[in-house]
Amino acid sequence: MGELLKVERLQIAFRGDQGETISVEDVSFAIQPGETMAIVGESGCGKSVTSLAIMGLLGASGSIKRGYISFLDTNLTAASEQQLRKMRGSQVSMIFQEPMTSLNPVMPIGRQIEEALRLHLKSSRKEARQSAIDMLRKVGIPRPETIAKAYPHMLSGGMRQRVMIAIALICQPKLLIADEPTTALDVTIQAQIIELMQTLQAENGTAILLVTHDLGVVAAMADHVAVMYAGQIVEAADVYTLFRSPRHPYTQGLMNSIPRLDAISGGRAPAIPGQVPSLHEMPTGCRFHPRCPYAEASCRELQPELMETGDRHRVRCWLTETSEADQIAVHRDTRQKVAL
């Protein structure tokens, strides 16, 4: 089966006052039609920048320095602005992380959804209006006929996010890039939106690139997961493998810091100690080594490659190579016992 989207050794840089900074380094992944791939990772690790690069929306100061992105066998890195615009209107749509930045503040939201639809489907005004209202209902907006006439500032945060979702879904794209699609939503509507995206996927074979920090959503939706840290993918695997036996120490830390419903209130959440390195002061060797409980001399000096360790399971960690990953698990068990 051919890949729908293929990202190969992508490197992205931004020009700024302090010269150039690399925010994404050596990122490779592929998505098959109908598949859901999730990108997770700490704030600032490059998830949104990667998605914006696929859309061709890096802006004036950003650029792809190396690598390529292909969509349906077209090389997007070489595509013209016109080709990209056409692709964005009809085949790929994106739910942006911050709804207010992508909604037009002076246009009623119903109109905004209609325009998105009319852009690539030659439907009549009346049909478009009806479809827009139906879509608003599907994303759980109550009283859609009334709300369609409201302006963005009159909606609550979660309602705005759902309007954006409606705009992205109404075009029935081949690829949906969803950047934190449910952050502003409470669990009940979140469940409804997840279900809606899955229905769309089943009906139209839409592939989804899901960018999120919410491991609950990942567990509910993803087939495959890539974990990013400081601009790089540090682990990638199918969702079951990743949750059951994470191998990268960072992924393990991430899994451990999931706030738990059974935790005691007022207690402290187990954060991964230390901070994400700044783009200007990237550590040598493994980028995670200053925060890694298992770091050794080699980790400080040499940068590990993303190594294949099993069926579509890739890990960027020296310990994996020396098959000490199991040892990590042992370490972890003892640590937990000590903590008890």
Partner 1 sequence: MNETVSFLDREPAIEHKPLMQIERLSTHYPLRSALFSRRAGSVKAVDDVSLTLYEGETVGLVGESGCGKSTLGRTIIRLEPAHSGRIRFEGDDITHYTPKQLIPARMRMQMIFQDPYGSLNPRMRIGDMLAEPLLVHRLASRKDVRREVDRLLGLVGLPASAGNRYPHEFSGGQRQRIGIARALSFRPKLLVCDEPVSALDVSIQAQILNLLQDLQQELKLTYLFIAHGIGAVKQISTRVAVMYLGKIVELADTEELFRKPRHPYTQLLLNAYPPPDPALRRERARVILHGDVPSPANPPSGCRFHTRCPYAEQRCRIEEPLLTENRHAVACHYPLE
Ligand X SMILES: Nc1ncnc2c1ncn2[C@@H]1O[C@H](COP(=O)(O)OP(=O)(O)OP(=O)(O)O)[C@@H](O)[C@H]1O
Site string for partner 1, 191-230 (x = CB under 8 A): xx--------------------x-xxxxxx-x--------
For residue 312, what is the DSSP state? Answer: T
> Does the protein bind partner 1 through residue 156 (CB under 8 A)?
yes
> Tokens 């839409």, residue?
206
CA distance readout (Å), 216 to 38, 126, 157? 12, 39, 21
> Does the protein bind ligand X through residue 283 (CB under 6 A)?
no
Closest by Cα among 124, 130, 221 to 170? 130
Of residues 86-105, which lie at the interface with ligand X (CB under 6 A)?
97
Give me the residue whose beta carbon is nearest to Mg ion: 48
Of residues 65-104, which lie at the interface with Mg ion (CB under 5 A)?
97
Of residues 19-78, which lie at the interface with partner 1 (CB under 8 A)?
40-44, 47-49
> Does the protein bind partner 1 through residue 283 (CB under 8 A)?
no
Applying CB under 6 A, among 4, 14, 194, 318 the residue interacting with ligand X is 14
Sign of CA dihedral 52, 25, 259, 215: positive
Beta strands in the chain (DSSP E): 5-16, 19-31, 36-41, 62-71, 74-75, 92-95, 175-179, 207-211, 224-229, 232-238, 307-310, 313-315
Distance CA 337, CA 251 (A): 20
Closest to ligand X by CB, 45 or 234: 45
| Residue 330 C-beta: closest distance to ligand X, Å | 31
Applying CB under 6 A, among 5, 26, 36, 47 the residue interacting with ligand X is 47
Closest to partner 1 by CB, 271 or 339: 271
CA distance readout (Å), 288 to 190, 300, 327? 32, 9, 18
> What pairs with residue 32 in β-bridges?
none
| Residue 65 C-beta: closest distance to partner 1, Å | 17
Geometric angle at alpha carbon 214, from 209 and 220, rounded to 5°: 70
Applying CB under 6 A, among 27, 128, 239, 279 the residue interacting with ligand X is 279
Torsion of CA 35, 40, 44, 45, to 10 degrees: -80
Indicate the residue type of 325: A
| Residue 99 C-beta: closest distance to Mg ion, Å | 12
CA distance readout (Å), 205 to 86, 89, 161, 179, 202? 20, 18, 23, 19, 6
Site string for ligand X, 149-168 (x = CB under 6 A): ----xxxxxxx---------
In the list ligand X, Mg ion, partner 1, none, the entry touching 124 (Cβ below 5 to 8 angstroms by class) is: none
Residue 118: which residues within 8 A CB-CB, separation 6 or more? 125, 128
The residue count for binding partner 1 (CB under 8 A) is: 74
Applying CB under 5 A, among 48, 93, 201, 251 the residue interacting with Mg ion is 48
Of residues 151-180, which lie at the interface with Mg ion (CB under 5 A)?
156-157
In this structure, the strands spanning 175-179 and 232-238 are unpaired
In the list partner 1, Mg ion, ligand X, none, the entry touching 82 (Cβ below 5 to 8 angstroms by class) is: none
Applying CB under 6 A, among 2, 18, 19, 59 the residue interacting with ligand X is 59
Q: Under the rule (CB under 5 A), what is the footprint of Mg ion?
A: 48, 97, 156-157
Q: Under the rule (CB under 6 A), what is the footprint of ligand X?
A: 14, 16, 23, 43-49, 59, 61-62, 97, 153-159, 184, 213, 279
